[in-house]
Amino acid sequence: MRAATTAPVVLGIETSCDETGVGIVRGTELLANRIASSMELHARFGGVVPEIAARAHLEQMQPTIEGALADAGLTLDDIDAIAVTAGPGLAGALMVGIGAAKGLAAARELPLYGVNHLVGHVAADVLSGAPLELPTIALLVSGGHTSLLLVRDLAGDVELLGETIDDAAGEAFDKTARLLGLSYPGGPSIDAAAIGGDPAAIAFPRGLTAPKDRDRHRWNFSFSGLKTAVARHVERAEAAAEALPVADVAASFREAVVDVLVAKALDACAAHGIPRLLLGGGVVANRRLREVATERAEAAGVTLRIPPLELCTDNGAMIAAVGAMLVARGDAPSPAGFAAESTLEADVVQVVDDASTR
């Protein structure tokens, strides 16, 4: 490794879902953020197909690494360490990134850090320029996760407060879009369909918000009941041969999702006495979510942080940012035999377990 007088240059690889992401950072400075998405390949299935995602990662890996290096104006000689998403995510997809990272690290004799994708989503914020104030509550909402975290220290103290017990928020958008005959990915198409719709037209259920849910599920989420309620609504309209008020259904569905997400996140802020909320994940692209979160956070005296969208969706730069933090702290790299962990818990920032010796 080069002298520690300048911050370490870390190349991060992300392949947990359908985005092949390669990012390069120098400490907390963003140098490159290349993303190749296989989203279009999944469109006709209405959701991510794991095998197709894994194959696409394999094809995109080398060009994406080369593209990121070119964007940063660097070569592999300038890289001090490699970081890769070890989990959570799709096992086959994760394995492609881990394989590439291990190959690169071995060939260039670089330290390799297998890191947590969820922590990466939070770390993305350090790349946006302003320092991240801790502790903070973080709400991560994408096609793969709906997680509420209490982050005290990015490199070591992250607590999972709650998560979805069925569909992820983005998945709910994708499945509901399909029910409404709208295209994949569902988030943007529901956003578009909701224009002019009345968000109060249909009182769709708000999952796990009843008083009885407060003990066990205060900060957990459930969206499958909402999806079923939309399906019943569509069936009723069909049975009665009525035209479906798509704009009203889309607006009311979106309102139900947004309402629950923001209410639970701000409740976590209040309960923990933490007046800071960070949003991450692809669903943050939702206009109504940003609007409602901004309004209600302000009313509650909570400072809201939303990183730029290209850092909110899955990317390699956020993984590199976690790696840079671990290098800066002097943490040892992950053992050479670490494996993909599709259900990695949020509190494991770096994988230090050698799966080959289990």
* Interface residues toward Zn ion, by CB under 5 A: 142, 314
Task: Note whether 187 binds ligand KG4 by CB under 6 A.
Answer: yes
Rounded to a whole number of angstroms, the minimum distance from the CB of residue 282 to ligand KG4 is 2
Each residue 248-287 as x (binds ligand KG4 by CB under 6 A) or -, in order, gives ---------------------------------xxx-xx-
- By beta-carbon proximity to ligand KG4, the closer residue of 47 and 135 is 47
Binding region for ligand KG4 (CB under 6 A) out of 185-193, 232-240, 245-253, 292-300: 185-193
β-strands 276-280, 136-141 pairing: parallel
Nearest to 20 by CA among 138, 105, 101: 101
Nearest to 23 by CA among 288, 317, 289: 317
- By beta-carbon proximity to ligand KG4, the closer residue of 35 and 229 is 35
Residues 155-184 that bind ligand KG4 (CB under 6 A): 170-171, 173-174
Q: If DSSP codes are grouped into helix, strand and coil, which group holds residue 213?
A: helix
Nearest to 351 by CA among 160, 161, 62, 94: 94
Rounded to a whole number of angstroms, the minimum distance from the CB of residue 69 to ligand KG4 is 23
Count of Cβ atoms closer than 10 Å to residue 26 Cβ = 18
Residues 16-45 that bind ligand KG4 (CB under 6 A): 17
Plot region of 269 (φ>0 → left; ψ -120 to 50 → alpha; else → beta): alpha
Q: What is the dihedral of CA 232, 254, 183, 41, to 10 degrees?
A: -110
Rounded to a whole number of angstroms, the minimum distance from the CB of residue 224 to ligand KG4 is 15
Rounded to a whole number of angstroms, the minimum distance from the CB of residue 281 to Zn ion is 6
Residue 121 CB contacts under 8 Å (≥ 6 apart), including other chains? 138, 140, 280, 281, 312, 318
Give the footprint of ligand KG4 on this chain (CB under 6 A): 17, 142-144, 170-171, 173-174, 185-188, 191, 281-283, 285-286, 313-314
